Structure 1
Amino acid sequence: MIVITGGTGQLGSQIVDRLIERVPADRVGVSVRDTDRATDLAARGVRVRRGNFSDPGSLAEAFEGAAQVLVVSTNESGETAVAQHATAIEAARDAGAKRILYTAHQGTADDSAFVPMVDHAATERHLAKAGTPFTALRNGFYASTVAHLIGRALETGELVAPADGRVSWTAHADLAEAAAVILADEGRFDGPTPPLTAPDALDLDDVAGILTELTGRSIRRVVADDTEWAAALAGNGVPAERADMLVGMFRAARRGEFTTTGPDLENLIQRPAVRVRSMLEEVVDQRRA
């Protein structure tokens, strides 16, 4: 049995879809907070059980009989995230899993300027201490983030954001397929994987240039002050703590924390990775519709 947490989430659901193309559905289980959202998976033969990172007892049941457990990182950050990940790791170990996998990040580091990278590093230490063989998936930065960063650029002609750096933007679909390959071929990686990224790293100047080509109108990159940008987010209802965390993403990018790329993702999925340009084409088409 292979159990995936967050099986109805943006990444987890795609991992399940790709995995049941490779192994029988009755060998796949999901741990989800709301089982009502997973009725379609149950209908396809996937084992569905309730599991909540804040409820170790539910995880014990969700992970029962699992040979492998993939812990998809939570949307929380800081101590809350690390504690939830640790709870899931310990529950997987106690359930007798032979391997624990975790969705980390290419930029995982204790000294990162972006809090989630520090959380990933702390979680990887828990994995190493758990005493069970583990694989930490060093995923590239989700390319879907770019759609949020461009903001109203298509309407205003200005892409406004803090100073950044090149980022190895990588599609959820590619990362999901890579995870499915690794789960189906147990033991392919021991410990942290090589960077699982698209082959290119782009900054927002590059993104503005692509948008200019796609739309036929000038999209100008405008560099905003960190503090002013965070204040604008807060003024639009984003909690101040989250706004500050997002500024940390730009600071980390400026330091080159997300520039690393490698061939391993494409080698795993046996095809070219999705490029940012393709994703931006979809964004432009959607906003024109």
Structure 2
Amino acid sequence: MIIVTGATGALNGATVDHLLKTTPASEIVVVARDTAKAQRFAGRGVAVRQGDYADAASLPAAFEGADQLLLVSSSDPAADHLALHTVAIEAAVAAGVGRILYTSHQGAAPDSPFGPGKSHYETEQVLAASGVAWTSLRNGFYAHSLNWLLGPWRETGVVAVPADGPVSWTSRGDAAEAAAVILASDGAYDGPTTLTANAAPTFAEVTAIASEVAGREIGFEVLGEDAWIAAQAAAGQEAGARFMLGMYQAAAGGYFRGTDPLLGTLLGREPQSVRDLLAAPAPVAH
């Protein structure tokens, strides 16, 4: 049996959708904090269980019977991610799970300037010490993040960043599809498993692609950290900017520069590219 947490979210929800193309619904379970939000899976014959990393008592029953368990990483900005992940891993071990798969990040490293990179690395260490077979899905930085990391370039005609560096911008949808393939392989991929697009353009190179897509020159500026934070603060976005500054610092430090052909191999096609993202209709602001 394959049990998937976080299926009400975009990443693992898409993974379950792909799994259902090849795996009987009776062999899949989804775990959600709010089971009402997972009813689309129940309507397709998938069992839905309640479980919350922040409620350790809810997890043993949620994980029971799992040959493979896909743990989504916490995205709660106010939470202690490592503590939540450790609770989930310990519950999986106690439940006798055969293999734990975890949605990690390509930039997982103990010294990453980007906070999530550290917590992903620390979670991988907990997995390695768990005594259970594990697979860490080290997904490339999700390409849809460019919709805000590039700023309002379509309106201003300028991309302004605090620092520059290469990033293997990767489609979240591609990562979700690859996770389904890996789950269906039943243990063929062990330990850290890197899933990235085929290129790692810098923000300057992404801006050049944006110019080609827009059919007009888009300017590019590296403002420096202090000036960039000041500009974000003036726009009322200082708190989010201070968090994301670590991402730009990590990019400049080369933490996201690596690429790996495995994603394309698993998909049987070329992964989506930055050009594909920028050429798509701009997301509607809400």
Give the equivalent residue in structure 1 for 2:16: 16
Gap change, CA 1:232 and 1:192, over 3 Å in 2: same
1:19-73 per-residue CA deviation (whole Å, 9 max, x = no partner) reads: 1112111111111111111111100011111111100111222112111111111
Gap change, CA 1:232 and 1:62, over 3 Å in 2: farther
Task: State the Cα distance separating 1:150 from its structure 2 match.
Answer: 2.0
- Candidates 261, 264, 281, aligned match of 1:263: 261
Give the equivalent residue in structure 2 for 1:209: 208
Give the equivalent residue in structure 1 for 2:66: 66
The correspondence of residues 176-255 of structure 1 with structure 2, limited to 5 A, is 176-193=176-193, 195-238=194-237, 240=239, 242-255=240-253
Gap change, CA 1:237 and 1:53, over 3 Å in 2: farther
Give the letter for the 2:185 counterpart.
D
Give the equivalent residue in structure 2 for 1:113: 113
Q: Secondary structure at the match of 1:177?
A: helix
Does 2:105 match 1:88? no
The correspondence of residues 143-182 of structure 1 with structure 2, limited to 5 A, is 143-182=143-182
Give the letter for the 1:58 counterpart.
S
Matched-pair contact (CA < 8 Å) for 2:139–2:196: yes
Distance across 2 between alignment mates of 1:270 and 1:41? 26
The correspondence of residues 135-150 of structure 1 with structure 2, limited to 5 A, is 135-150=135-150
1:114-135 per-residue CA deviation (whole Å, 9 max, x = no partner) reads: 1111101100011011111111
Gap change, CA 1:183 and 1:72, over 3 Å in 2: same
Give the letter for the 1:148 counterpart.
W
Matched-pair contact (CA < 8 Å) for 1:140–1:196: yes
1:184-219 per-residue CA deviation (whole Å, 9 max, x = no partner) reads: 1111112111x2101111111112111111121211
Distance across 2 between alignment mates of 1:202 and 1:76? 28
**Structure 2 residue ranges without an equivalent (≥5):** none
Matched-pair contact (CA < 8 Å) for 2:108–2:118: yes
**Structure 1 residue ranges without an equivalent (≥5):** none
Give the equivalent residue in structure 1 for 2:277: 279
Distance across 1 between alignment mates of 2:78 and 2:70? 21
Across the aligned residues of Structure 1 and Structure 2, the Cα RMSD in angstroms comes to 1.6
Distance across 2 between alignment mates of 1:112 and 1:82? 15
Gap change, CA 1:69 and 1:247, over 3 Å in 2: same
Distance across 2 between alignment mates of 1:79 and 1:151? 27
Distance across 2 between alignment mates of 1:261 and 1:86? 29
Gap change, CA 1:266 and 1:185, over 3 Å in 2: same
Gap change, CA 1:225 and 1:176, over 3 Å in 2: same
Distance across 2 between alignment mates of 1:87 and 1:20? 28
Task: State the Cα distance separating 1:151 from its structure 2 match.
Answer: 1.7
Q: Secondary structure at the match of 2:174?
A: helix
Distance across 2 between alignment mates of 1:67 and 1:230? 47
Distance across 2 between alignment mates of 1:126 and 1:78? 21
Matched-pair contact (CA < 8 Å) for 1:78–1:115: no
Distance across 2 between alignment mates of 1:215 and 1:161? 19
Matched-pair contact (CA < 8 Å) for 1:86–1:123: yes
Task: State the Cα distance separating 1:283 from its structure 2 match.
Answer: 3.8
Give the equivalent residue in structure 2 for 1:44: 44
Give the letter for the 1:47 counterpart.
A
Q: State the TM-score, normalized to the length of structure 2.
A: 0.94
1:199-255 per-residue CA deviation (whole Å, 9 max, x = no partner) reads: 111111112111111121211012222123234434544463x43221011111001
Q: State the TM-score, normalized to the length of structure 1.
A: 0.93
The correspondence of residues 96-135 of structure 1 with structure 2, limited to 5 A, is 96-135=96-135
Distance across 2 between alignment mates of 1:239 and 1:48? 39
1:76-105 per-residue CA deviation (whole Å, 9 max, x = no partner) reads: 369700001111111111111100010111
Q: Secondary structure at the match of 1:130?
A: coil
